[in-house]
Structure formats: C-alpha cells, structure tokens
Amino acid sequence: MGEFETMIWTEKYRPKTFSEVKGQKHIIKRVKAFVEQKNMPHLLFAGPAGVGKSTLALVAARELFKEKWRENFLELNASDERGIDVVRIKVKDFARTKAIGDVPFKIIFLDESDALTKEAQQALRRTMENYTKTCRFILSCNFASKIIDPIQSRCVVFKFKPLAKEEISELIDLISKSEKLSITKDAKDAIFDVSKGDVRRLENIMQSAASISNEITDKVIYSVSSQALPNEIKEILNAAITKDFLDARKMAFEVMLKNGLSGLDIIKQVQDSIWQLNIENLKKLEMIKICGDIEFRMVEGSDEFIQVEALLASISLIAKKGFQSARTA
C-alpha cells in the first residue's frame, strides 16, 4: 500500500451527507424530511453497533445547521458520563440557551444512552419536556428496552438493522478503489461473515488486512480477525461425527492455539458450521442446543478447553446415537 496512513479508516470514511450513508433507507428518508422542514421531534435510534446511528445524528446536525453545526450540537457519550449530575448540569446548561442561526433549536446527542442510570433517565425526561422550544434530543442505544417508557413515549423511535450483503459489498468496493487494494470474492464473503453487518468492524478489518498486503484474500481476513477458516471448523465437526473423537479434539485445540481463539470464539464458529453438516435436521437441533449449554458454562467461568472437549464429545454421541438407531432399524 506504500506509506500506510495512521488515521483510523472509520473516521476517514464517515459519511458527511445523507446520500453517503449506506443502509437504513427508510430511516434516512424520514430524518432528511425533518431536516428539510427545520423542525424535528426528539429521536431515539436503537440497534446494534456499527450500523450508522451516530453517523446519522452527525449528518443531520451538519445538514441542519450548516457551518454553525458545532455551536448548536452537543455530543455526550453516556457510557462515560452517565450520572444524574451530567443531566442536571451539562445537558440543562446547553439546552436552556438559544440556538445560533435560523434554526430555532439546538441538538443534544446522547450516545449509548442505555448506559444512563435510571435516576439520570428520570431527570432527563423533565429536561426534554421543559426545554423543547430551544433543544431537541437524539438518543442512541443498543437496546431500546433499557430506556424507560416515559422517554420512549417522548421520542420517535427508529430501529436500525445490520447492513445487507449488497450494501456491505458496495462499501468494500468503495474502500478498495480508494486505497488501491485488490480483493477476491471469497475475501468479500469473509468480510461480510466476520463483520455481520457492522461497518465499523468492516473498516477495521480491512485496514488491518491492508497493513499486511495489497492482495486481500479470505485467509488474510480470517487471520486478522482472529477466526479459524470455515473449512477447519468443518473438518473438526466431520472428525467428531464420522471418525475418532480424539482426532477432533486434537484438531480443535490446535486451531484454538494457532489462531489465538477463546472457547467462546470457537463455539460461535461451530454453531454456524453445524447448519452446513450433511446430517439429519433433528440432530443439528440437538447439537445447537448443546452449543447453548456449553456457552452458558463458559460465561459462568468454566474451563474453556474442558468445555470445548465436552462439546465435541456431545456432538460425537449425538451422531453415533443416530447411526446405531439406523443400523438397528
């Protein structure tokens, strides 16, 4: 790539206008209408990480206030500043002053607002009511259920979703062209598989891959994202089902150590790969159930190597039980 840029790509490729934002088309259309009318209610953006919630709030502020957007826009990350004093002091002081320019209100953007304490949320509901003439709120969260009902009822709620494969592909092509990267189709599929619709993760993976080589393949993607190759997981499962259990265990531990995978990482990949196995659907369901049990044990603090071994043993038993019943019939 030549001299590698030190800046983070997530900032470099952050959209500046509505037309640059990928995905969430119905949400963008409605927010854009509010901006064009220079009037908007309080908004609540809910959805997974990296799908455009913060970006859309910043774009709306830029489009609404133009060159004066910084003076009329306050961004607070509620995960850092989440107490009641923040609402009573910072938010209230900004909300009570008049906006600069021809737009009659300011915007306060509370990122990760589901991290606000219940007391802070109760204080916020009164602030939202009292200063509606001079200030509008945009709240962003991963889980809308963690926002108290009185705040939700004061907002127009928008539910964001992970970006679709074609939207992710457009972003990959845009970045590849800009950074002069060569990327294979398998690598594109791998990026979508690893990022799961999270644009921030997509850009970080591509930046890490580009630091290794201009020629990006699926092997490079799985390597920089600390994931095993799908074929390796399939080989482990096939060994557990059709061959010696000891071989499957040995292969699983080698893959974990080689790629630096935790037990939870390998469980997630195994769960995805189970659906690709050439076995009866009922057996797949039993195996998925076992994955859930093993993951719960790991989260509770069980030894990950013992639990991976237990998972493979359970998968092997489920498969053999089926073979025995088939032979008996």
Angle between helices 245-259 and 230-242 (to 10 degrees): 160
- Rounded CA gap, 217 and 294, in Å? 32
Percent of the chain with pLDDT over 70: 91
- Rounded CA gap, 15 and 22, in Å? 9
Show the beta-strand stretches assigned E in the chain: 42-46, 73-77, 106-111, 135-141, 155-159, 182-183, 215-216
- Rounded CA gap, 239 and 260, in Å? 21
The residues, ordered by sequence, that sit 6+ positions from 184 with a Cβ below 8 Å of its Cβ are 216, 217, 218
For the domain made up of 230-328, give the CATH fold.
Answer: Zinc Finger, Delta Prime; domain 3 (1.20.272)
- Rounded CA gap, 124 and 130, in Å? 10
Ranges of residues in the chain with a pLDDT under 70 are 1-9, 78-87, 322-329
Query: What pLDDT sits at residue 83?
Result: 63
Query: What pLDDT sits at residue 312?
Result: 92
The residues, ordered by sequence, that sit 6+ positions from 215 with a Cβ below 8 Å of its Cβ are 182
| Domain 24-159 part of CATH 3.40.50.300 | yes
Mean pLDDT of the chain: 85
Query: What pLDDT sits at residue 228?
Result: 84
pLDDT 10s digits, 139-159: 999 988 999 999 999 999 999
- Rounded CA gap, 281 and 272, in Å? 14
Q: Where are the domains of the chain?
A: 24-159, 230-328
